[in-house]
Structure formats: C-alpha cells, structure tokens
Structure 1
Amino acid sequence: MNRRRLIASGAAGAAGAATLATPNLASAQPRIRWRCPGSFPKSLDTLYGTQEFIAKRVSEMTDGAFQIQIFGPGEVVPALQVMDAVGAGNVEAGYTSAYYYLGKDPSLALATCLPFGLSSRQHWSWLTHGGGRELYAEVYRDQGVVGIPAGNTGSQMGGWFRKEIRTVDDLKGLKFRIAGFGGNVLGKLGVIAQQLGGPDIYPALERGVIDGAEWVGPYDDEKLGFQRVAPFYYYPGWWEYSPSIDLMVNARAWEALPAQYKAVLESACAEAWHWMAARYDVVNPPAMRRLLASGTQLRGFPREVMQACYRATQEFYAEVGAGNARFKRLHEKWDAYRIEQTQWLRVAEDSLGNFLAVATAQR
C-alpha cells in the first residue's frame, strides 16, 4: 500500500468531515422577511436613518436570514397611520411614535414622552430598570402590538414662530403644529394645536395655514427649511424633553418569531435608541451655528410663559386621570420616578453642568 496516498486520503476525509460539521449560519436559521413603514421623512438621515440602522443590524446579526424592508411615510401607509397598520396585521412592524395615536388611549403618551418629563438618561433608566416597559406593554397589548424602544432624539427645541412670544397672551389664537400632550396643554392657554406629519409641516407654515411649528431640533429643522418661513426659534421644548420612538411589532408576528430573533430585535433596537441620541448630540450644535449665522433669531420662552405652561400641564394630567383610571395609575408611577430622579440629578449633575456653562462662557 502507498503510505503517502493513504495519508493524503485520510487528510482529505478529515477536511470533508470538518466542512460538514461547520454549520452554515444563514441556512440554519429560518428566513424571515418583514415590511416596516415609518412616520419620518426619508430626507431626515437621523430619524429615518435610525430605521435603516435597525434593519441593517438585524440583517448583520442573522447573516441575512432576517430581513426588514423599510418604507417612508406614504409609501405603504400614511405617516400617522403606522400603528394602525401594524396592529391590524397589514404589515409586520412599523417605526413610529406612540403619542401620534392618543385618540385611541391617552396612556400611549407615556410611551413617547410627557410634558415637563424625563431627560434621555432618566428615560432609559425608567424603561429598562424603573418598570416603564412593563407598564407600557399592557397599553400596547390593546392595540395589537409589541413596542420596543428604538430611538430617542434627546431634548428638543420649542419650535419656530412668525412672531415673538413675550407673554402668555401672545399664545392666544396661535395656530401651532405640535404632537402629543403638548398641544392639549397649550390649548388651555389659547393655542389652536395642529397635528401634522413631518412632510406636511413646511407647506402649511409657508402658506400661513399655521403660525408656528415644532419638530425636533436644529439639524432636522434646518433640513426641512423652517428658517425660511419663520424667523423666531424658541427653546426649550418642554413638551418633549426626550421622546422615545418605538419599533412596533404586530403581536402575532412577534409571537411567531424564534427566540433568537426576538433577542436580535431587542439588541438592535437598544443600539438604535442610543445611536440616535448620540448622533443628534453631534449634529445639532453646528446646525444651530449655521441657523444663527443665516439670520435665525434664537429666543428663550419667558419665565412667565414657562410657569403658565407648567401649571396648565399639572391641571391637564389631573383632568385626564380623572377620566381614565389607567392613565392615572401609570402617570402616578411615572411622576414618582420623575420627582426622585429630578432631585437626585439636581445634586449629582445639574450643579456641575450649571457651573461649567458659566465658567465656559467666561473664558
């Protein structure tokens, strides 16, 4: 027997066995294709870009076996009907904000944000360790969806106005585009709130259908061109301290997912939540400088206006709670958490942040 040929034959056999023993990850996993419309314009590379980021990460973590096809507003469903389509099972998932659907249940507002609420850091801790997601799950269950936190813009601006806001009286009769409970609160002060999808805001502002509008912050607002039709840019956006955006998944589609794909979605969405917040922190400051250089007039809401808005907010929460037991129960838990966090961070972080702001300005 030829000893060399025997050794070569044995080596080839061993290599073949090794090849067979190594699993092909893509073929070993079930191949799933989902459709995912969103509420945010494709022109906004951070909001829509986060939707793209989620699809990319899910594909990467499953070697392409789990694919999510994403769509912009109007391509499959209108911007403000995404949750309806997901709950009905017309699509498997959607990328949207729960507070667009308050007419179904006021408790949905808590899943996005509440006026005079939590910072992005506080919001994440509330969601992941403070019991927030467990509370929201029961609200989403009624809508036929599972909500996964998948984005956060961080603190937003107070919006664009055609005229200055010097007193509370300046709010009366003002037609203002705003989402969520902020519109209800401002309505108590005489504002006529309008809820419009992102693509519809600029035309309405340009034609004078509305007198002002809020969206996110300098980077996105500059892209949408609001500075061309309204000169005064106000802060802070007290109604949206840190709005959370969700990947909403049809409840039946979620239950049908293998456990490892559920874990992949959770991981991709957690990455996306922080990816969005971090990106806005990077792109907003230079965008603000560009806006100011081009003639935008930056204004802070007067203290009188802020105090009136805060009082109106607390009155509104009490009114909603009186008519909705679920909202009252969830809001009480959320508010207790907010108060404790505010007191803690006032000592731990705000004191240093305020000092640094003054010290830096004096350099």
Structure 2
Amino acid sequence: MSDNSKFTKRQFIKRAGLVTAGGVSASTLAAPYVRAQSPIRWRLQTYAGPALAEHVVKPAIDAFNTAANGEMVIELFTADQLVPQGELFRAVQRGTIDACQSDDDSMASPVDVSVFGAYFPFASRYGLDVPVLWNWYGLKEIWEEAYGEIEGVTWLSAGAWDPCNFVTTKPIRSVDDLNGLRVFTFPTGGRFLTRFGVVPVTLPWEDIEVAIQTGEIDGVAWCGATEAYTVGWADVTQYYLTNNINGAWAGSFFANTDRWNELPEHLKTLFNMAMDSSHYYRQHWYWWGEAHYRTTGGKLELTTIPEAEWKRVEDEALVFWDEVAQESERSARVVEILKNYAETMRNAGAPYRYT
C-alpha cells in the first residue's frame, strides 16, 4: 500500500464527520411535511344539541381526529355552547371559533342565498335531492361565488338532513289548524308559514323542551321524526303531521378563511373526506329513522292533511319562490334551478316523484 492510500485515524474521523453532517443537511432540506411539535387545534361548533350531534357530526369529527394522527385535533362544541346560534357566522368570521356546521339561514349568513339554507319551502322531496342540487345542478358553484364575496368565511360543503314536519301538542288535520300555532322553526320556514297563520318563535335550542311543556310554544316545525325522538321532543308532544314543507334540511360546513388556508393540503383533503363521511352517515341514519319512528316509535299520533287540501300550501310555495327570486339576480338563478330540477323529477316519475 502506498503512502498516498494510507489514512490516519484522525483523517478517517474527520472525513466521516463531514459525510455525516452532509447527510443530515441533505435529509433536512429534502424532508417532507412532518408533524409540528404541537398539533393544529380547531374549535368547531355545530347547530345541533348534544344528543343530535352524536349522529350528525361527532362520528365524522372523531374519525378525522383519529386519521389526523396527532397533526390536528378538532374540538367539537354543540348548539350555543360557545356562541349563540344567531352569532355563529360572525364568530367564524372573527376567528372566535375556527369552523362550524350549520344552515346559512339560522346562523344569519350575510349572503343573498342564505334564504335557501335549512328549509326553503318544497325545494326538495327527499334527502338525495340536496346533494344532487349542489353537485349536479350548479348550487355548489353559486355558493362558492356568494361566499367568495364575503371576507373571513369559506363555505366548504353542503349536505342533507331530515324533512321538516310539524311535531306538536295539538292535532293538525287541516290547513286551517295551522292558524295561531306557535312553533319553533327556521327564519325562512317561519316567514313562509305565516301565510297560514303560523306564529314562528325563536328560542335557544336547549330551551325548546321546557317551552313546549310550559305551553309557551305548541311544538316545532324544525325536524322530522328521527330528531323528535332522538332529542326528546317526542316525549313532550303528541302529534306528528306527515305532510312536510320540505323533504330535507340543507346544511353546510364553514371555516374561518385564514384557518382553512393555513392547513396543508393533506389535512384539507382529510377534512373534505370527513365532511363526505358526515353527509353519508346522515343520509342512511335519517332515511332509516323517519320510517322506523313513524311505525314503531309509539309516542306520536300521526295526522295527515288530505292531498288536495295540502296542495294549497304547495301552490303558495311557488308564489313564495317567485317573490324570493326578485330579491337578487343570484336568488333568481337558484329559483330557476329549483324549478328545472322539480320539472325533471316530475318527468322522470317514480321513484323520483310519485305525484
């Protein structure tokens, strides 16, 4: 071995140190996204009370937290727990909370399309109508456009809940029985129902059961059978009107824009999947529950207004649609979509529409 090929112990250690340092530097520069020392933390408030939240959102949030594997944790809060429902939009906009699950209507979103959130009269017959309208008839793009004009809040995804039926302490067997009925309901639904003498009442969600028991209100026009049984309202009412003013509540997820934009793409994707999971769970849970509780619930007597008489309410809804269409160009576009969709469903016949 020549002198040039010999290494001293000192030279070997020196060269090994340089290689090791270089390796660390290279791996540091090439490292992918890794979990921060502290996880990203969000607070999300739902419109739903504790018993209902167990179904409409908690399974999806629990799954997200598990799949996020410590990179992000979402704390779930129920109706009015951090802020009143009517202040929910502003709370997300200010960053008081990071995200919410709600309809546009009851959380007072300052967009013209908020009137179509929750229960726009007779906009749908079944739960599947809502995702179809948003994903295949253009409502998704209209919602993105509307919320794109508002700073601080990003609309993320819409899905369906249950139908809107009357659950009351007094029987309803004709349209005239609606006159004078005091019910807890959504802003737009209440605005429409006043045409038939209904008196809409706004109260905190957790006060509804006591308000029914004390006679302050005669019931709710807020949900279907599934919710009435799940949250305990079936325990303090006696009657369930099978005619509904809408086949599915339309609600959405929203996030504070800065908080949303700060998320890495893989966590955005994961949250999108969690929202889809929530939408899917509700589709089958509500569809099961509406039939199950009507037939086996045992607590509520079912009443029905004859179809020919109920047509008065359906026809008045179309007048209401045209009035809302005059409120803005964008509202007119939504109403036109609803009319086209309804016509398509009627022309398609069963199982899309039976009447």
Q: TM-score, normalised by structure 1?
A: 0.79
Q: CA deviation at 1:106?
A: 4.7
Q: Secondary structure at the match of 1:101?
A: coil
Give the fraction of aligned pairs with identical amino acids, expressed as a percent. Answer: 21
Deviations 1:170-189 (Å, cap 9, x if unpaired)?
22222121114221111122
Q: CA deviation at 1:304?
A: 5.3
Q: Secondary structure at the match of 2:79?
A: coil
Kindly provide the amino acid, as one letter, of the partner of residue 263 in structure 1: T
What is the distance in 1 between the residues matched to 2:108 and 2:88? 13
Kindly provide the amino acid, as one letter, of the partner of residue 186 in structure 1: L
Q: Give aligned pairs, total.
A: 327
Aligned twin of 1:133: 140
After superposition, the Cα gap between the structure-2 partners of 1:237 and 1:149, relative to the gap in structure 1 and judged at 3 Å, is: farther
After superposition, the Cα gap between the structure-2 partners of 1:146 and 1:152, relative to the gap in structure 1 and judged at 3 Å, is: same
What is the distance in 2 between the residues matched to 1:342 and 1:206? 39
What is the distance in 1 between the residues matched to 2:234 and 2:65? 38
Aligned twin of 2:336: 336
Q: CA deviation at 1:104?
A: 3.8
The partner residue of 2:181 within 170, 174, 197 is: 174
Of Structure 1 and Structure 2, the greater helix share is in: 1
Kindly provide the amino acid, as one letter, of the partner of residue 64 in structure 1: G
Q: CA deviation at 1:309?
A: 2.0
Q: CA deviation at 1:233?
A: 0.7
Kindly provide the amino acid, as one letter, of the partner of residue 282 in structure 2: M
> 1:26·1:63 contact (CA, 8 Å) conserved in 2?
no
What is the distance in 2 between the residues matched to 1:304 and 1:348? 22
Structure 2 unaligned blocks of 5 or more: 1-22
What is the distance in 1 between the residues matched to 2:35 and 2:253? 26
Kindly provide the amino acid, as one letter, of the partner of residue 265 in structure 1: F
Matching of residue 350 in structure 1 with residue 350 in structure 2: yes
What is the distance in 1 between the residues matched to 2:154 and 2:240? 36
Aligned twin of 2:49: 41
> 2:184·2:201 contact (CA, 8 Å) conserved in 1?
yes
What is the distance in 2 between the residues matched to 1:189 and 1:62? 49
The partner residue of 2:165 within 155, 158, 169 is: 158
Q: CA deviation at 1:127?
A: 1.4
CA RMSD of aligned residues (A): 3.1
Aligned twin of 2:256: 250
After superposition, the Cα gap between the structure-2 partners of 1:106 and 1:176, relative to the gap in structure 1 and judged at 3 Å, is: farther
The partner residue of 2:293 within 269, 287, 291 is: 287
What is the distance in 2 between the residues matched to 1:351 and 1:279? 20
Q: Secondary structure at the match of 1:215?
A: strand
> 2:106·2:187 contact (CA, 8 Å) conserved in 1?
yes
Structure 1 unaligned blocks of 5 or more: 1-16, 356-363
After superposition, the Cα gap between the structure-2 partners of 1:74 and 1:28, relative to the gap in structure 1 and judged at 3 Å, is: closer
What is the distance in 2 between the residues matched to 1:352 and 1:304? 20
Aligned twin of 1:100: 106
After superposition, the Cα gap between the structure-2 partners of 1:103 and 1:310, relative to the gap in structure 1 and judged at 3 Å, is: farther
> 1:82·1:95 contact (CA, 8 Å) conserved in 2?
no
Residues 1-363 of structure 1 aligned to structure 2 (within 5 Å): 27=35, 31-44=39-52, 47-102=53-108, 104-118=110-124, 119-141=126-148, 142=150, 144-149=152-157, 151-154=159-162, 156-238=163-245, 240-291=246-297, 293-294=298-299, 296-303=300-307, 305-322=309-326, 324-325=327-328, 329-348=329-348, 350=350
What is the distance in 2 between the residues matched to 1:106 and 1:342? 22
Q: TM-score, normalised by structure 2?
A: 0.80
Deviations 1:242-278 (Å, cap 9, x if unpaired)?
2222221011212222222222222211221111111
